[in-house]
Structure 1
């Protein structure tokens, strides 16, 4: 029922109540007058004709004119109706994300008829499943898409650094050492798919980016480098919401080799700009916010020569990522949110092998490789965010799904080195429960 109709009904009801109160007051007044008359008659024994002063009952009785208004009496205010609907729905979804969001909305509806009317129209005639789908639109995004996009910057740079280090080791083992200083450029394209997990909607994330770097040997065993990377990611949720993430990062990296033993490490600092769009009851809520990335990577291993031009490299790796998402306020929708900040961490330890080859081809060297790694995430962080409706009401917490702890990565690539120039192309596949990602990277390097 629209707010205008509700107001008209309330005004009619109020008018009827005023008339009724006046009638009751007049009747009581006449009853008191008649009672006083009877008492006076008994005391004075002087008959007085009561008809002249008391009879106006006939002219005062307007009950007949009030009867048409009587049906208005049982009609409850719109706000009471919607509060009843929300309270019932809240009880059915107690302890869930949508239950918390609806509980907060109930408080808003108590003082905001516009919100109450809008939500009542959405719920009218809906089944329980349809009402649940509508209530989910009240929630902020906690599916981890924005954090994954931020971490893709770290992945891009670590892939380029790994290619540099493996090239050095191949050169040392074959007696064809690479130059002491070099520059490189690497491009990335990635597509990730996260399925629905623990009632949290899934998403797809398409990333594309570029990284450039320069490095040099400080000593025969030690290499130090600096890289800059930029990645853009489009995150599209299964519920129609989306987030565009534009990230830049600076990475300091280095490597140490001693005979067939090696250690590679890097530290990444990044900043991301996020633009989100969220569908809420027929409106579009938009938000803009920043996020920060801190990442560490370390890998160590030992190379075994299986045959001339063929090496097996067992390896152990560790990586840490921390993404800090800043709070923001949405605009453009009646039920827009003030969303608090959140932190998402990953702490992974993995082991695996890489098989490397180096074969003469034409005037250069063909360098294929195959990699397999398995990781365990000791953090497996769960996103959790505190929100309030912009129109008011108490805060509520929305919790995401915990990611699977175990993941697997396989990759293959090929490089071609001709003098000081090294060209490369690689493909990597990452999988864990309810998640998969495909990444293609291309690189070019020049050594002085």
Structure 2
């Protein structure tokens, strides 16, 4: 009772305050009638009918908890409801009190979906017979209780054998009747549970509203089907709900953390509402649901149903959660300001002039809504949601994030007054269908905007403020209509760009037109100098034809620096995306102080050399990045990624280096390595086959030396190599691993002439060390014709070779978060010829052989087009390369004959190398979306080089079998290669 008195005193005082307000219905100087107090009775009292007599109404909900419906003695072994224990998961002990709640918890576990009226009737019919069939009773009982949800193992033991339990006597019949009574009791308890809410049919009437109504639902739910009052106070605890169906109130006060539902009756029907301001007593507390029913609103007043509400919350006392439902046909919810951490607006269809469909129209102000998750504005459905634009336009709105539950659903109309702001609209997977800026200036914060269409009505302005990314199209309805003024894009952001086209009128900005529309793109950030300070702007350039914005108006609306600027102030572009990457751009000449419109003229794009200098890249790479910028028009993902990369010079340089990368030079290096290995294998064979003690090697010795019966030889060599090339001339280095095999056969056609044929195959894997992480795989097949002439005192040897090479390339495009792989495949033919001469000098077992040689190699790769990287794919036309290399060196060998007649020959050798041509593997490329050709210079190796090596050979005493191991190293500036060979030969 103490609690009831507190509620009564509080609400009586509130009523006194309300009644003293002039103009409030019912205000009078005479004594008001005593308020009607409705208290739920112990045992589940339900207040029905109309309450209140003009003095106010207080409804105190009391949790109903009826006791003593079943006595413990009735559950005992000899009790009339003893059979009830058989169907309880936990049988009731003698002396226990069986409350409806307790019975409900256990009985509801059994006899679930499998119970039918036929089973109940079968059991009842059989029990009514004078001589019942207990087998049928048992069967029906089993079906009734055994076919439900409960596990038989949870039942009392007596229930497991129904045939024995329902024996053929009077006691068995009573037990069966008790079982049926238990079922009937269960049904009664289910009905009773529904009556625990405190239901009031009506408080006041439309023509005679109560001065106040208080619903105290802190202990139990209260439902009022219809409420007419000046002041409605709803007190709900943490778990209960205060409900009211059709509700009219000049003011609503919400107190407590529970859910407060207005516009929904006890039967679940939507009744609508007509409310003044709704407030909460504590900031960040209270959940409010408003349900608008089907009907119309006439002149701002709800005629019957629908929903009208004033302000919800205040700036100092925001609601925790507000939901407004208008999901019935023709349902409308209108309102004033909303202060909430989370606001959910549910609308099924956009309202039309014919009156069909639903809408939630909030033409007030949604103030200080929070962020996504706990704090957000959620659009649920296809309806139109309007925010702002009240007649007084006192305040703007500040919304953290606007979301929609389904992609391409929901229309948002914004009436933006000064200071209106939205942080983010939609997500990548859930974009709004349309966003309309109907009035005023809207600032978009640092989040992304995902709306399939954005519309700027006449006279509006969209202000980009912060890191803003627009996903969708921007339209101005008054396109190319000189008689109308369209919306304006105002860009005051540090970073901002659009992933789709922006369509505006010529009156907003004059640009190159395509299909009668001006198509622009906010590309990336730039900068200008004003008042001796560097300021940031976003450069706006056309997407079509890459020409400057020009024409009669030549005006570009942007956010100017905070400092006041006069009409005569000059500002010149210092760093902009357009100029840096080859697009003509507007120079800011002056500013009109009234609307801060910048007047622009044209400046030329930067030269390739200037771009290269600014980005610390090569001229070829500067050309390539310009080609990339022009080629990505149709690849939105690639264009967005490139824009991100180009916002910083360091990232822009990396993008440029990836744009011009060439794998051709890597492939040529691998091809030349394979060709050299095959040529060295042949040269080694010729050296080992010479007669006498000319050189250390696999020569015929002993009794077999010079034996005319051993004039033929077959041999095989296995080779493996590894090499590392550092960056050179601005081209990234690489590392290479190769392995291969050569087989050959030769014959001495004369005493001093030998000819032979060799076949080689090799595999080379090369990895680049640059930003693109290039990879090149080369498979080579070579055939060589070789021979030597070996008269007394000197020798001349040579070979002609052809190689067919299959090349596979790949490079990574990792720009601005994008990760793609461009793959290529092509063939390369190679032709080579070499000649060498030397003269062996003998001193006992030691032989010194000076040697000089000249070789020529011509490589001709085919044209190819990459795949897999979208707009970053290149078509590459490699140029042919030539190498004319001279060598000068010699070898020092020692021949040791064992006691058994076999020969062991260690050898040291060295040579100096020089390339007389010095070609690099230059290629011409173009991107798939652009026709501009650019050159990509390959790595140019050092002309000077050298080799050093060592070998060890062994020949059997009869000269038939020979084996040898060799190691050679090649060195050039920034390059080191290591090569090893194992050789076996049989002479016959």
- Pairwise TM-score range, normalised by the shorter structure: 0.7 to 0.9
Calculate the TM-score normalised by the size of structure 1: 0.82
The answer for the alignment partner of 1:246 in structure 2 is: 779
Considering fraction of residues, name the structure with more helix. 1
Map 1:98-109 onto structure 2 (within 5 A).
98-109=621-632
**Which of 938, 949, 971 is the equivalent residue of 1:411?**
949
Q: 1:390 to 1:314 in 2, by over 3 A?
A: same
Segments of structure 1 that go 5 or more residues without pairing to the other structure are 25-65
Aligned to 1:443: 983
Aligned to 1:159: 680
Distance 1:391 1:362, change over 3 A: farther
Matched, 1:88 2:575: no
- Does the 8 Å contact 1:3/1:114 carry over to 2? no
Following superposition of structure 1 onto structure 2, how do residues 249-260 of structure 1 map, counting pairs within 5 Å? Answer: 249-260=782-793
Q: Which has the larger radius of gyration?
A: 2
Q: Secondary structure at the match of 2:692?
A: helix
Corresponding residue for residue 269 of structure 1:
802
Residue 213 of structure 1 is aligned with which of 744, 747, 750? 744
SS of corresponding position for 1:104? helix
Q: CA separation of 1:370/1:117 partners in 2, compared to 1, >3 Å: closer, same or farther? A: same
Query: In the TM superposition, what whole-angstrom CA distance separates every residue of 1:16-72 from its partner, at most 9, and x where no partner exists?
Result: 556x74547xxxxxxxxxxxxxxxxxxxxxxxxxxxxxxxxxxxxxxxxx77x6648
C-alpha distance after superposition, 1:159-217 (max 9, x if no partner): 22222222233536567237210100001110111100011000011000000000001
From 852, 873, 886, give the equivalent of 1:349.
886
In 2 relative to 1, CA 330–3 (structure 1 residues): closer, same or farther, beyond 3 Å? farther
Greater alpha carbon shift after TM alignment, 402-411 vs 158-167: 158-167
Answer yes or no: is 1:291 the counterpart of 2:828: yes
Query: Does the 8 Å contact 2:664/2:923 carry over to 1?
Result: no
C-alpha separation in 2, matches of 1:16 and 1:395: 41
**Residues 905 and 952, structure 2, Cα contact 8 Å, conserved in 1:** yes
1:327 maps to which residue? 863
Pick aligned residue for 1:15 from 471, 477, 487: 477
The question of whether the paired residues in 2 share the 8 Å contact of 1:143 and 1:201 is answered with no
Q: CA 1:3–1:325 in 2, change beyond 3 Å: closer, same or farther?
A: farther
Root mean square deviation, CA, Å:
2.7
Distance in 1, Cα, partners of 2:631 & 2:726: 33
Matched, 1:312 2:848: yes
CA 1:269 to 1:13, structure 2 compared with 1: closer, same or farther past 3 Å?
A: same
Q: 1:296 to 1:13 in 2, by over 3 A?
A: same
**Displacement of 1:139:** 1.8
**Distance apart, 1:232 and its partner CA:** 0.1
Aligned to 2:706: 177
The answer on whether the counterparts of 2:693 and 2:842 sit within 8 Å (CA) in structure 1 is no
Q: CA deviation at 1:13?
A: 4.3
Work out whether residues 78 and 113 of structure 1, in 8 Å CA contact, stay in contact via their aligned partners in 2: no
Contact 1:105 1:393 in 2 (8 A): no
Say if 1:238 and 1:2 are closer, same or farther in 2 by CA, change over 3 A: farther
TM-score by length of 2: 0.39
What is the alpha-carbon distance in structure 2 between the residues aligned to residue 5 and residue 118 of structure 1? 20
| Stretch of structure 1 that moved more, 182-191 or 273-282 | 273-282
Is 1:202 paired with 2:770?
A: no
Instruction: Determine the structure 2 residue equivalent to 1:402.
Output: 940
Q: Is the 8 A contact 1:188 1:208 kept in 2?
A: yes
CA displacement at 1:327 relative to structure 2: 1.1
Q: How does 1:30-69 map to 2 (within 5 A)?
A: none
How far the C-alpha of 1:299 sits from its partner, in A, is 1.0
1:139 is aligned to 660
SS in 2 for 1:266: strand
Deviation at 1:3, TM superposition (A): 10
Residues 714 and 986 of structure 2 are in contact (CA less than 8 Å); yes or no, is this contact kept in structure 1?
Answer: yes
Q: Tell me which moved more, 213-222 or 112-121.
A: 112-121
* Maintained 8 Å contact 2:758/2:785: yes
Matched, 1:279 2:812: yes
Asked if 1:77 is matched to 2:513, the reply is: no
- Partner SS state of residue 672, structure 2: helix
Q: 1:271-307, CA deviations, whole angstroms, 9 ceiling, x for partnerless residues?
A: 0111111112310011111111111121100001022
- Structure 1 CA distance, aligned partners of 2:633 and 2:823? 26
CA shift for structure 1 position 109: 4.4
Contact 1:6 1:78 in 2 (8 A): no
Deviations 1:207-244 (A, max 9, x none): 00000000001100100000000010001000211011
Are 2:871 and 1:340 aligned? no
Q: Greater shift after overlay, 81-90 or 102-111?
A: 81-90
Judging by fraction of residues, say which structure has more strand: 1
Alignment partner of 1:118 out of 631, 636, 641 = 641
